Chain A
Amino acid sequence: MKQKNNNTKYFCISVASVCTVIIIWYLCINVFHMKSETVFPGPVKVFNTFLDKLHTKAPDGATLQAHLWSSIKVALLGYALGAIVGVPLGIAMAWNKWVDRFVRPLFDLIRPIPGLAWIPMFILLFGIGITSKALVIFLGALIACIVNSYTGIRQTKETHLWVGDVFGASDSQKLFKIAIPTALPMIFTGLRVALGTSWTALVAAELLASTKGLGYMIQQARAISRPDIIIVGMLAIGAVGAVFDALLHLVEIHVAKGMNAK
Chain B
Amino acid sequence: MPMEQERKINHNIIVECKDVSKTFITPEGEHPVVKNFELEARENEFLVLFGPGQCGKTTIINMIAGFEKATVGSMKFMGKEITKPDPSRGVVFQSTALFPWMTTMGNVEYGLKMAGVPKAERQKRAQKYIDLVGLNGFEKSFPVQLSGGMRQRVGIARAYCNEPKLMLMDEPFGALDAQTRYLMQEELQRIWEAEKRTVIFVTNNIEEALYLADRILVLTNCPATVKKEYIIDLPRPRNLVSPEFLALRKEITSVLDSTL
Contacts and interface: CB of A to CB of B under 8 A. Distances in A.
A160 B111 contact: no
Interface stretch (A50-58, A62-70, A252-260): A252-260
B145 interface: yes
B144 interface: yes
A165 B84 contact: yes
A242 to B, nearest CB: 28
B66 A165 contact: yes
B231 interface: no
Given A162-B67, A165-B84, A261-B142, A157 B101 contact: no
A166 B89 contact: yes
Contacts of B93: 159, 162-163
B86 interface: yes
A178 interface: yes
A169 interface: yes
A186 B93 CA distance: 25
Contact of A259 (B87, B95, B101, B114): B101
A93 to B, nearest CB: 22
Interface residues of B, number: 28
A262 interface: yes
A165 B97 contact: no
A182 B97 CA distance: 12
Nearest to B114: A167
Contacts of A157: 95, 97
Size category, A interface: 20 to 34
B110 interface: yes
A105 interface: no
A189 to B, nearest CB: 16
A262 B110 CA distance: 24
B31 to A, nearest CB: 19
Interface string A135-166: 00000000000000000000001011011111
A162 B65 contact: yes
A167 B100 contact: no
A184 B86 contact: no
Interface string A165-183: 1111100010000100110
